[in-house]
Chain A
């Protein structure tokens, strides 16, 4: 018997309405469409997709920083999407987020000690003595930085502070929203190593959002591929052969470090459909080399092999 998952996401959907005004009908944008996903304790699940595919919206829905249009999110036994404000605040101790931009995710007026004390202030808990130094040490920063302000730090150092803040209340579950996207490549590796190390030491569960499939394949146990708000494929492990034409195109577009393994890249042609006006059939049909008439009229559901589901009529 497998243990129950830590996170259950059920048919999560979020629509945004924009541009409504006097005598003007608002336009509806489908940001996240019917996403279901379970994450086991200790698992690292990656979410990849192009910018604008709804990855970040999904991250915010899972932590209920945004309200879903429909669907549920469960953390253990508690249904996050149904919690009243006070209970939600208490539940926030169990989950945290690391943000993409380490330059705007720290209040410029706060010293690092204040940044790291804020989770305790907000949760009305006493800050244990020596906690700030311990938190800094846990992410590889010297204690002497406690009195510095964010503008005195490098991007990598700031991101370490962001991680330390996320871990302050000893959460079980972390959402990492492109935590390395705005860092230099050499720093990226350090941050990924730190995150992997922290997971091993603290038994954390990650939802790792990224547009970098190579990074996700290196770091994650399972990989969710999103296209225009919907999940098109879930790879059961990093080396699983992609079955969806979009996943294949994503993998092919990555550069192989070994020149002998480089092959000609067949770039995707065609435009991404507007999320304001999704086509009736498969959202990828317009760019897909395998598309048939059926793809343009019917939408394929995520199905097939339960361990490796794919939303495609003509998978590889």
Chain B
């Protein structure tokens, strides 16, 4: 009974993997939020005399090819990577839930139209959709954000639509109707709240993928433009220097990998706590 009192994201911390992963994520998010307070250096001031330094007491993770502190850039990079992918997924969830719920609710030609378009985009890999969109919109953080959110739109639309369709036929919906409930009450008090948990967990897992996608676009030079650091952009700069200064590519790479693994582990713990593993698969 006492376990129900805590919200599921906090209960996920009671699982060992959930606690480790959640701890890492909390640390990264806090570091990104308070970056100016944590970092003694500027991310964009070049100090060429200090370039290519390995890790030391002065520069914990070393410096890059322009002598900028790598840890500072990594923390500011977390800001870019997390905010771009986070906002992109939030946008995608908002649009996808509206679209999926409307399709399931209204049915008919609207549902068929949405399903056809969504299935069409679903059949392309996200990276391809994102690349095409960035090519159209142009590189930069805004372009990347829009591209990522469109790339994941199909996933959330399908998931929401499937959830609402199954929930619609539940007896408690008919029971609410028999009491005199109108459409708004049924949609906002029964259908959407019940569909929310699986969609939010899948959004969290998608944020992990979105970080990789953002890093990929950044690696191609399509993401945040220099001197603003992003993990993908930093890896791209380091890729030419793998043998001369391997730390330049290794640390941002590690940051991406560990963060994405942490998101997935924490998401798994959440799914277990919410007991919605079966519902997460229902994405027809």
Please report A residues at the B interface, Cβ cutoff 8 Å: 63, 65, 88-90, 92-93, 96-97, 99-101, 104-109, 118-119, 121-123, 149, 162, 165, 168-169
CB distance from B2 to the nearest CB of A (A): 13
Q: Given A107-B190, A108-B194, A122-B181, is A65 in contact with B176 using a C-beta cutoff of 8 Å?
A: no
Chain B residues near A165 (CB-CB < 8 A)? 175, 179
CB distance from A18 to the nearest CB of B (A): 15
Asked if residues B171 and A99 are in contact (CB atoms below 8 Å), the reply is: yes
Asked if residues A105 and B175 are in contact (CB atoms below 8 Å), the reply is: yes
Chain B residues near A109 (CB-CB < 8 A)? 193-194
Asked if residues A97 and B180 are in contact (CB atoms below 8 Å), the reply is: no
Given contacts A92-B179, A96-B179, 14 further A-B contacts (CB under 8 A): A63-B178, A88-B180, A92-B178, A96-B178, A101-B171, A104-B172, A105-B174, A107-B172, A107-B190, A107-B194, A118-B176, A118-B181, A122-B179, A165-B179
Asked if residues A105 and B193 are in contact (CB atoms below 8 Å), the reply is: no
Bound-state CA distance A234–B171 (Å) is 30
Q: Considering the complex, which residues of chain B in the window 183-222 have a beta carbon less than 8 Å from any beta carbon of chain A?
A: 185, 189-190, 193-194
CB distance from B164 to the nearest CB of A (A): 14
With both beta carbons as reference points, the residue of chain A lying nearest to B194 in the complex is identified as A109
Find the residue from B174, B180, B185 having the highest chain A CB count within 10 A. Answer: B180
Asked if residues A119 and B179 are in contact (CB atoms below 8 Å), the reply is: yes
**B175 in complex: contacting residue of A93, A97, A149, CB < 8 Å:** A97
With both beta carbons as reference points, the residue of chain B lying nearest to A102 in the complex is identified as B171
**Which 10 pairs, one residue from A and one from B, show the smallest C-beta to C-beta distance?**
A92-B180, A105-B171, A89-B180, A104-B171, A122-B181, A107-B172, A97-B178, A119-B179, A122-B179, A99-B171
Asked if residues A105 and B181 are in contact (CB atoms below 8 Å), the reply is: no
Asked if residues B180 and A123 are in contact (CB atoms below 8 Å), the reply is: yes
Bound-state CA distance A90–B177 (Å) is 12
Please report B residues at the A interface, Cβ cutoff 8 Å: 4, 170-172, 174-182, 185, 189-190, 193-194
Bound-state CA distance A278–B21 (Å) is 63
Asked if residues A121 and B171 are in contact (CB atoms below 8 Å), the reply is: no
Chain A residues near B170 (CB-CB < 8 A)? 104
With both beta carbons as reference points, the residue of chain B lying nearest to A168 in the complex is identified as B179
CB distance from B240 to the nearest CB of A (A): 54
CB distance from A4 to the nearest CB of B (A): 24
11 A-B residue pairings within 8 Å (CB atoms): A89-B180, A89-B182, A99-B174, A106-B175, A109-B194, A118-B176, A118-B179, A119-B179, A122-B181, A162-B175, A168-B179
Bound-state CA distance A149–B4 (Å) is 10
Chain B residues near A92 (CB-CB < 8 A)? 178-180
CB distance from B184 to the nearest CB of A (A): 11
Chain A residues near B178 (CB-CB < 8 A)? 63, 65, 92, 96-97
Asked if residues A169 and B179 are in contact (CB atoms below 8 Å), the reply is: yes
Find the residue from B4, B177, B182, B185 having the highest chain A CB count within 10 A. Answer: B177
Bound-state CA distance A99–B279 (Å) is 24
Q: Given A121-B185, A122-B185, is A106 in contact with B179 using a C-beta cutoff of 8 Å?
A: no
CB distance from A143 to the nearest CB of B (A): 16
Asked if residues B180 and A122 are in contact (CB atoms below 8 Å), the reply is: yes
Bound-state CA distance A151–B241 (Å) is 59
CB distance from A118 to the nearest CB of B (A): 7
Asked if residues A122 and B171 are in contact (CB atoms below 8 Å), the reply is: no
Bound-state CA distance A49–B174 (Å) is 23
**A93 in complex: contacting residue of B180, B185, B189, B193, CB < 8 Å:** B180
CB distance from B42 to the nearest CB of A (A): 49
CB distance from A260 to the nearest CB of B (A): 42
CB distance from B52 to the nearest CB of A (A): 57
Bound-state CA distance A121–B193 (Å) is 17
Asked if residues A105 and B180 are in contact (CB atoms below 8 Å), the reply is: no
Bound-state CA distance A161–B177 (Å) is 17
Chain B residues near A119 (CB-CB < 8 A)? 179-180
Chain B residues near A162 (CB-CB < 8 A)? 175
Chain A residues near B194 (CB-CB < 8 A)? 107-109
Chain A residues near B176 (CB-CB < 8 A)? 107, 118, 122
Bound-state CA distance A63–B177 (Å) is 10
**A65 in complex: contacting residue of B174, B189, B190, CB < 8 Å:** B174
CB distance from B173 to the nearest CB of A (A): 9
CB distance from B50 to the nearest CB of A (A): 57
Bound-state CA distance A109–B197 (Å) is 11
Bound-state CA distance A65–B179 (Å) is 10
CB distance from A209 to the nearest CB of B (A): 14
Find the residue from A88, A97, A122 having the highest chain B CB count within 10 A. Answer: A122
Bound-state CA distance A149–B5 (Å) is 12
Chain A residues near B175 (CB-CB < 8 A)? 97, 99, 105-106, 162, 165
Bound-state CA distance A89–B182 (Å) is 8
**B177 in complex: contacting residue of A65, A104, A108, A149, CB < 8 Å:** A65
